[in-house]
Amino acid sequence: MSRRRTAGRVLALLLAVVAAVPLGVASAAPVPPAPGPPAELVPGVAPGPAQPWSLDTPDQALPPVVYTPSAEEEAVEPRSAVAGTYALVEYVPLGEAVARVSCTAKTGPYQRQVERWLGLRADGRQSAGDCRVIRAFQVKQGIKPAMGFAGPVTWSRMRYLSARRNPNAAGNCPVRAHPVACVDLSRQLMWVQKGRQVVFGAVPIRSGRAGYRTRAGWHKVYWRHKNHWSTLYNTPMPYSQFFSGGQAFHGVYGSLHTAVGSMGCVNLTVGDARRLWGVLKKGDRVFVWGRRPGT
């Protein structure tokens, strides 16, 4: 009996010692903190009177009530946007905007793409030479602040300039004998083509944000309402041309170049929406493809 008690005590002592010893150096090492979010980008200059600091403009999310507008209603033309509404305001690091630097040393989120477009060495790192060339492009295109930061507005402008003459060079939008409104979510551009001839655009757009993506695939313009007003968000949607539930082409009285997208609609400047109104008609086909950056 005495031997059994002694063996039991020894076993208990050994278990206690094992429990007190760390299992390994790795388990005792401190856990490194999770990486923080990327630095926030903000408009580099104060927006104009119709270009608020707000990053979003709500759109109609639910299918509208379809009716036939009266001749009197159709005769009313939506108001134009005030001067400065669609100014090209680049998004830059907050500290750079406050300091009003003339040529930034910061690497932008589209550094490599911008370098490649400008014929610079595409190493994805900002240099003094890069800044001077990017800044010259921004000055020429009226992008403010022209501090050489390779931001989303600068890259968007480059994509637009590349697409103006032949937006369907990659053949992503199907060629048909009838008009097709082509919506390229990846490049945030749209145009209308009939056969291989482009009859409208290409023009910049703003499509659906994350969680409210503009639906891809084939659609059809099923209702046009020149003076539509969103009862859901209490906001004007001039020259609305609905093609998928509550998603429509329409003008907005604010910048297209925001950090977030619409609630699903394809936003255009009021001037572009007005011109598109004269190109499309009820029954015309719409083809949407790609994916808006960030969604």
Q: Has residue 206 been placed in a domain?
A: yes
Q: Are 201 and 111 part of one and the same domain?
A: no
Mean pLDDT within 200-208: 96
Active site residue 182: no
pLDDT digits (tens, 9 = 90+) for 63-107: 888 999 999 999 999 999 999 999 999 999 999 999 999 999 999
- Of 131, 173, 182, 265, which one is the catalytic site residue? 265
Instruction: Look at residue 63 in the predicted model and tell me its pLDDT.
Output: 82
Q: Has residue 54 been placed in a domain?
A: no
How far apart are alpha carbons 50 and 47 in whole angstroms?
Answer: 8
Q: Are 132 and 196 part of one and the same domain?
A: no
Q: What is the DSSP string of 241-280?
A: EEEETTEEEEEESS-S--SS-BSSSEEEEHHHHHHHHTT-
Looking at per-residue pLDDT, the higher value among 20 and 139 belongs to 139
Q: Has residue 106 been placed in a domain?
A: yes
Instruction: Look at residue 65 in the predicted model and tell me its pLDDT.
Output: 86
User: Given a cut of 60, is residue 203 above it in pLDDT?
Assistant: yes
Instruction: Give the total number of structural domains in the chain.
Output: 2
pLDDT digits (tens, 9 = 90+) for 222-251: 999 999 988 777 789 999 999 999 999 999
Q: Are 272 and 204 part of one and the same domain?
A: yes
- Of 219, 225, 250, 257, which one is the catalytic site residue? 250
Q: Has residue 270 been placed in a domain?
A: yes
Q: Are 208 and 244 part of one and the same domain?
A: yes
Q: Has residue 48 been placed in a domain?
A: no
pLDDT confidence bin for 194, thresholds 50/70/90: very high
Q: Has residue 276 been placed in a domain?
A: yes
Q: Are 182 and 272 part of one and the same domain?
A: yes
Q: Are 146 and 174 part of one and the same domain?
A: no
Active site residue 250: yes
Last residue of a domain, one of 118, 138, 161: 161
Of the listed ranges 19-28, 127-136, 265-274, the one predicted with least confidence: 19-28
Q: Are 152 and 173 part of one and the same domain?
A: no
Mean pLDDT within 253-268: 91
Q: Has residue 258 been placed in a domain?
A: yes
Q: Are 145 and 220 part of one and the same domain?
A: no
- For residue 265, the enclosing domain spans 167-289
Q: Are 189 and 226 part of one and the same domain?
A: yes
Helix axes 152-163, 128-141, angle to 10 degrees: 60
